[in-house]
Amino acid sequence: MTAIDQTRSTAMGGVTLARALPWIIATAFLMVMPLIFTQNSAITIMNQMAITIVFALAYNMLLGQGGMLSFGHAVYMGLGGFLCVHLMNYVENFEIPLPLPLLPLFGGIFGMGFAMLIGTFSTRNAGTVFAMISLGIGELIAACSIIIVVFFGGEEGISADRTYGLPVFGIEFIKQIEVYYLTTFWLVLSALLMYLFSRTPVGRMANAVRDNPERAEFLGYSARWVRYCSFIASGFFCGVAGGLFAINYEILTEENLNLITSGSILLITFLGGVGLFFGPIIGAIAFTLLQTVLSLETELWQLYVGVLFLATVMFFPGGLAGLMAMHVPVVKLGKMNTLIVPYIKTLVPGAIGLLALSGLIEVIFHAKHATADDHVMSIYWTTFSTHDILPWVVLAVLSVGGIWLAKRNAPELLEAWGNANTLGD
């Protein structure tokens, strides 16, 4: 029975340092981030990131853990957010002693309540039926936002002021940095709870039902109930994200409920990787950076995000997190060094080629859409006129050459990858 004993020792054990370490590092990292990036704009981006992470993780409770594709998940976040904006106004108007940091809890409960209602019929099936119902509910609530003006505020939405509440330990949440720490607290708490949820019996069965609902039924579990449990848990954390959004932006509009928001959370989660718990976190960080930083650089940022998404779906279904996880066995075999040279030989020309190609797109876009006398543009720290032939030639040559070189060297990388994943030398 030695093998069983061995199994025992590895399977058992509650909180060990090795398991807690990623959480401790992540928390410490979040604490010091504002000390490194002190500008207000950076903190704004980080707040947005944190909120998106909570939303994406909650969304992945359905998509990745439970195998349910929702096209209308903005609704649960939006409703939680709207409720919190109203609560902020109540606190202001009636001087209710409700501390601001507790608001996301109420947002969560509201999101969960709505999920409990919708889940009763939408979780009967996974697959297409579920997706279509989620789409319908998404449209319905987005349409309601213009009809039920009392709650949704019509086209201008509902706004509030977070600073009118009671100060908590003397903090009035006027400064962005104060909101940052509030958001971070909820981010860490929600992420931890969502992670722990995935380790509970119902969380494990969510995986089982995702893989094979029929088999799960023959193990004594109602697939529908398991889906329902995941659905309301997801609704809760979406509502928390909504509450954080309300605190951060102090306004919610129809945009928070509509299909564009629902679509982008799907994109974010998939980009990061649905198969691993930390996937959506990476997706949210990458997407927020693209959305905020890249959108300052180019009007075409959505094109690039779209291409990135397409490439992920086609070539790396595991997403960015899956791409990282692929390297774990290689590192374990101690063969990461054999990959460095092939990586440089393929990825550097590939990156140059793609950057030049997007440069070419930018030049075409500028030449086509700028006003007739505006022919000076600057990309990659270079300023030139779109009427000159040289920039066109340089960009075209670089993109064709780079991509050709990358394609030529790709088989070498594939071979090195194969070798790096096999035992022995």
Partner 1 sequence: MTPALHLNDVRKSFGKTEIIRGLELAVHKGERHAIIGPNGAGKSTMFNLITGRFPVTSGNITLHGQDLAGLAPYEINRLGLSRSFQITNIFPNMTVFENVRCSLLWSLGYKYSFWNMVSKSRELNDGAAEILDQINLLDKRDLPAGLLAYADQRALEIGITIAGGADVIMLDEPTAGMSNTETDYIVNLIRQVTENKTLIVVEHDMGVVFDLADRISVLVYGEIIATGAPEEVRGDPKVQEAYLGAALEAEH
Pairing of strands 158-159, 251-252: antiparallel
Taking contact as CB under 8 A, which single stretch among the options 126-134, 178-186, 197-205, 261-269 is the one that binds partner 1? Answer: 197-205
Q: Which of 4, 35, 296, 372 binds partner 1 (CB under 8 A)?
A: 4
204 binds partner 1 (CB under 8 A): yes
Total site size for partner 1, rule CB under 8 A: 37
Least distance from partner 1 to the Cβ atom of residue 219, Å: 5
Q: Which of 153, 165, 203, 272 binds partner 1 (CB under 8 A)?
A: 203
Residue 210 corresponds to which tokens in the numbers above?
């995702």
Least distance from partner 1 to the Cβ atom of residue 200, Å: 5
For residues 65 and 253, which CB has a smaller minimum distance to partner 1 in the complex?
65
Place of tokens 């207000």: 40
191 binds partner 1 (CB under 8 A): no
Q: Which of 33, 135, 171, 202 binds partner 1 (CB under 8 A)?
A: 202
- Give dist(CA 257, CA 365) in Å, integer: 32
Cα distances from 257 to residues 36, 143, 158, 239, 392, in angstroms, run 34, 9, 13, 12, 43
101 binds partner 1 (CB under 8 A): no
Q: Which residues of 164-175 are buried (b: 16+ CB within 10 A; e: fewer)?
A: ebeeeeeeebee
328 binds partner 1 (CB under 8 A): no
For residues 202 and 294, which CB has a smaller minimum distance to partner 1 in the complex?
202
26 binds partner 1 (CB under 8 A): no
> Sign of torsion, CA 174 172 45 66?
negative
Q: Which residues of 327-341 are buried (b: 16+ CB within 10 A; e: fewer)?
A: eeebeeeebeebbee
The string of DSSP letters for 235-247 reads HHHHHHHHHHHHH
201 binds partner 1 (CB under 8 A): yes
Least distance from partner 1 to the Cβ atom of residue 270, Å: 17
14 binds partner 1 (CB under 8 A): yes
- Give dist(CA 338, CA 54) in Å, integer: 37
106 CA to centre of own chain: 22
169 binds partner 1 (CB under 8 A): no
C-alpha atoms less than 13 angstroms from C-alpha of 207 in its C-beta half-sphere? 11
Least distance from partner 1 to the Cβ atom of residue 230, Å: 10
- Give dist(CA 247, CA 112) in Å, integer: 19
Least distance from partner 1 to the Cβ atom of residue 126, Å: 15
CB 266 within 8 A of CB 59: yes
What residues from 207 to 226 belong to the interface with partner 1 (CB under 8 A)? 207-208, 210-212, 214-223, 225-226
69 binds partner 1 (CB under 8 A): no
197 binds partner 1 (CB under 8 A): yes
For residues 385 and 421, which CB has a smaller minimum distance to partner 1 in the complex?
421
Residue 367 corresponds to which tokens in the numbers above?
């030449």
Least distance from partner 1 to the Cβ atom of residue 389, Å: 54
For residues 224 and 327, which CB has a smaller minimum distance to partner 1 in the complex?
224
Binding mask 230-249 for partner 1 (x = CB under 8 A): ---x----------------
- Give dist(CA 139, CA 418) in Å, integer: 47
199 binds partner 1 (CB under 8 A): yes
Q: Which residues contact 78 (CB under 8 A, 6 or more apart)?
A: 141, 242, 252, 256, 257, 261
Enumerate binding residues for partner 1 (CB under 8 A). Answer: 1, 3-4, 7-8, 11-14, 196-197, 199-205, 207-208, 210-212, 214-223, 225-226, 229, 233
